[in-house]
Structure 1
Amino acid sequence: MRPVSSTYVISGIAGLYVAQSVIGGVTWSALPAIMRLNGVPLDRIGLVSLIALPWVLKFLWAGAIERYRLPPVGRNRSRTVVAAGGIVSAAGLLVAGFLDPAVALPLLACLTVVAFAAATVDIACDGFAVETLARKQHGWGNAAQVGGAYLGSAIGGGLFLYLSGLYGWGPASWATAGLLLLLGSPFLFGAARDLPEEVRSHVPSLGTALSRPELRRGLLVSAVFVLAQKSALGMIGPLLVDQGLDAGRLGLLNGLGSFFVGLGAAVFGGICVRLFGVRSVLTVALLLQAGCLALFSSAASTAFVPLAITMTAAAASTSGIMAFGFVALYAQFMRWSDPRQAGVDFTLFQCMDALVSLTGGVAAGQIAERFGYGPLFTVTSFLAFAAVPLLLLATRRS
């Protein structure tokens, strides 16, 4: 591949990571709260997790996308994949703006199409970053990924919710569609423009990935960690709404938490990984999350926890602790990925993350609707504590 300015590459992939996280923030942070404000029952809100289905299944077409993107002879087609996915994502949000958030199923179907396009773009973006950046630049690429994720979450989960409270669901969705096209421009017209003809010998293979013990161990670690960290996150927003928090304040909480708390915790997590190792950071993250979940259980079951304390714990749980722990988890995934087909390997790890998030989110909605928030957060707090020895065992040295 021709030398490409690292500034172009990092700015290009950062824009794509922000765009993907904007979609995620709208879907998993803003939408549950908006649906609750429109009177949607908790079990229906739990179905929002089904929008993660394309992220669960994208390993099925990751190899095909990589083979199309990197033909045996010819130009790198990352630009084509990203452009097509970006157009579909923006169009999907335009359509979603005309749908009623109180009617769950049509909106969930529309946003699932958006998620499919975004998941496909992610395959191309990750592969392009790994193959284009020099090894010494990988740290900057990872910083773009983490920073982009939390900036996107602040926009999608915070600013979107705030604008929705001021102007309504439709205008907020349409503005976000335009933003997605803007965020993709640095990649399309900078990093991925005018790539040269190349000859390639390696063919990415899902079978090769699954045959590696490091990858199988990584899938187990992903399942355990994500179940403990993410399964109850979709119910935190509805809990705050039911305790009297309006959309505007919840949007500011999500936005400020995602950007300042999340970004700071991600940087701190990276430092701690270098100083203390991945296993130590993962363990601390699980214990901290268990404590926050126990506090949510108390807040839901008693009147002794002030709303301000619950809001602070929500920002810490959904932004700070998540960022701190997932920096370490993704650092381990990079170590377990084969550099020759990092797109396929990393996709498998992300699919396990999404699968557990999906099933855990659906189950959380059902438990909360039938038994209440208290039992839900009690169970998930126990899961976070119980995950510590399992994770230490799975990440032990051979």
Structure 2
Amino acid sequence: MTVIKILLLGVLYYVQGLPYGFQDKFLPIYLRSRGLSYTNLTLMKLLLLPWLLKALLAPAMDLFQTKSFWTYTSLICLMALSFLSSFISQEFEESFLSFSVILFFFNFFSATQDVAVDGLALQMLTDKDIGQGNSAQIIGYKLGAFFGGGVLFWVQIYWGLQGAFGLLGIMYCLTLLAFCILMEKQGLKHITKKSINTERLYIQNEDVELNENIQVSHKNDQQLNWKVVFREAFRTPHTWNVAVFVIFYKLGERGALSSFPLFLVDEGVPTRTVGLWNGMFGQIGSLAGSALGGILLSEKRFISKVLKFSCWFRVLPVTFQLLFILFWDQFSSPAVHWIVHYSSLLSICILQFAAGIATAAAFTVMMICSQGALQVVQTTHYTILASSEVAGKLLFSSLSGMLIDIFGLSTVYFVFVLLSLGTVFIVPEIPVKEEINKYS
């Protein structure tokens, strides 16, 4: 049963990565080749708004229907949208507005699927297999992004945009079929039943006694409104310290991974070489780190140690990269320069390897923390944590380039080192489920 659950989650997270790779890697190159301006390419980032509003979608999924229902619905909508796009793809080249509308709905239904699948994972995974489940999530998502950005690019070359959308539709169709088979035939359906009819909430306010038991029935689902859902989510033990950690733990790493390859290009390292090491070899290192993280995280008592170790580990390649930046011009000897050249490229792979372990451990902590919430608000709780991580990365990524232009790369890179080191000291302790007995 564990293998089936891990396989099911891996497949679902794989198709979640398809739209990201499709929009982040494939579409900018394709649209630019068709003459789209840089301004319009930049404005297309606004189409990612549904991903930032996931926390508003999550309460609706907690309050109405089951997570499997929302997963079915999102997959069907994405499949239909893909096939529809394959038939009208010729119009996209003439109408940027039509293309933008299609992409907006791709993001909306993908964000819906993301929230629903996270809710499924919270209900399906036990303490024993939660580490492997989160590795399946990360590896599946990265493979999906690779397929969406790489394979679809080559499909478009030979069969055009119509073929790319058609293949995307086939992938969603196969995923929907696999989801139906695994959910209906392998005895997993019972874990996704709607729990709101039997969930008891303990709501503390001026009109209700502390810990008064309020039965939430199907008849008055509307009474469990967004305000109550968010309040109960934030009352979950360990929520705040986990949220603070996931906001900051990626900042130094993301800054280094986005700026150091550009430094190497500026210093004359061939773009193709940097792309090979940063893209292919680095991605392999990231996948290997995520896979190793899943193995190390199989025992719950090791999760904090694995997370702290990976945070320490990340400090080393970022520090070495700072030294490369500071003393790059000092290496005049051809032999020494050759060593530094490939050591700097290797540091990118090592950093992505460590980042893979850290990400698997961080998402495991997030999921354990969310499993400690009331079942009726678990999806909202996990989405809040996941959105905090995304918000931290997006905010810092948008500012780091400007900071480099103002203060210089070496100064800002020193900040990257400090941020990477600082996360070691805010690693949260593993939430203990027994601490939430006051809710039951």
Aligned positions of 1:207-226 closer than 5 A? 207-212=231-236, 214-226=238-250
d(CA) in 1 for partners of 2:157, 2:276:
8
Report what 1:67 is aligned to. Answer: 63
2:105 to 98, 105, 113: 113
Q: Does 2:408 match 1:384?
A: no
Aligned positions of 1:232-271 closer than 5 A? 245=271, 254=279, 257-258=282-283, 260-270=284-294
Distance 1:271-1:178 versus aligned 2 partners, 3 A rule: closer
User: Please, which runs of 5 or more residues in structure 1 have no aligned partner?
Assistant: none
User: Please, which runs of 5 or more residues in structure 2 have no aligned partner?
Assistant: 200-223, 431-440
Aligned positions of 1:156-175 closer than 5 A? 156-164=148-156, 171-175=163-167
d(CA) in 1 for partners of 2:415, 2:350:
18
Q: Does 2:33 match 1:25?
A: no
Report what 1:359 is aligned to. Answer: 395
Aligned positions of 1:180-329 closer than 5 A? 180-191=172-183, 195=189, 200-202=197-199, 205-212=229-236, 214-230=238-254, 245=271, 254=279, 257-258=282-283, 260-270=284-294, 274=302, 276-289=305-318, 291-292=320-321, 319-329=352-362
d(CA) in 2 for partners of 1:293, 1:97:
48
SS at match of 1:277: helix
Deviation at 1:125, TM superposition (A): 1.2
Deviation readout 1:31-69 (Å, 9 max, x if unpaired): 456567778787876656545432221011101112223
Stretch of structure 1 that moved more, 154-163 or 60-69:
154-163
Deviation readout 1:334-372 (Å, 9 max, x if unpaired): 33324434322211111112223333344456678xx49
d(CA) in 2 for partners of 1:189, 1:392:
43
Aligned residues: 381
Deviation at 1:28, TM superposition (A): 3.0
Deviation at 1:238, TM superposition (A): 8.2
**Is the CA contact 2:11–2:175 (under 8 Å) kept in the aligned structure 1?**
yes
d(CA) in 1 for partners of 2:417, 2:84:
39
**Is the CA contact 1:232–1:361 (under 8 Å) kept in the aligned structure 2?**
no
Aligned positions of 1:98-177 closer than 5 A? 99=92, 110-164=102-156, 171-177=163-169
2:379 to 343, 347, 351: 343
Identify which of structures 1 and 2 has the higher relative contact order when contacts are C-alpha pairs closer than 8 Å and 6+ apart. 1
Distance 1:206-1:146 versus aligned 2 partners, 3 A rule: same
d(CA) in 1 for partners of 2:411, 2:173:
41
Deviation at 1:17, TM superposition (A): 0.4
Distance 1:15-1:162 versus aligned 2 partners, 3 A rule: same
Letter in 2 for 1:121: Q
d(CA) in 1 for partners of 2:414, 2:98:
35
Letter in 1 for 2:198: S
Distance 1:393-1:239 versus aligned 2 partners, 3 A rule: closer
Distance 1:36-1:175 versus aligned 2 partners, 3 A rule: same
Distance 1:97-1:235 versus aligned 2 partners, 3 A rule: farther
Deviation at 1:93, TM superposition (A): 6.3
Letter in 2 for 1:116: F
Q: TM-score, with normalisation over the residues of structure 2?
A: 0.67
Deviation readout 1:216-237 (Å, 9 max, x if unpaired): 2222111112332335766789
**Is the CA contact 1:154–1:254 (under 8 Å) kept in the aligned structure 2?**
no
d(CA) in 1 for partners of 2:173, 2:410:
42
d(CA) in 2 for partners of 1:235, 1:32:
20
Distance 1:363-1:44 versus aligned 2 partners, 3 A rule: farther
Deviation at 1:332, TM superposition (A): 2.2
Report what 2:218 is aligned to. Answer: none
Q: TM-score, with normalisation over the residues of structure 1?
A: 0.73
**Is the CA contact 2:26–2:148 (under 8 Å) kept in the aligned structure 1?**
yes
Distance 1:160-1:133 versus aligned 2 partners, 3 A rule: same
The percent identity for this pair of structures is 18
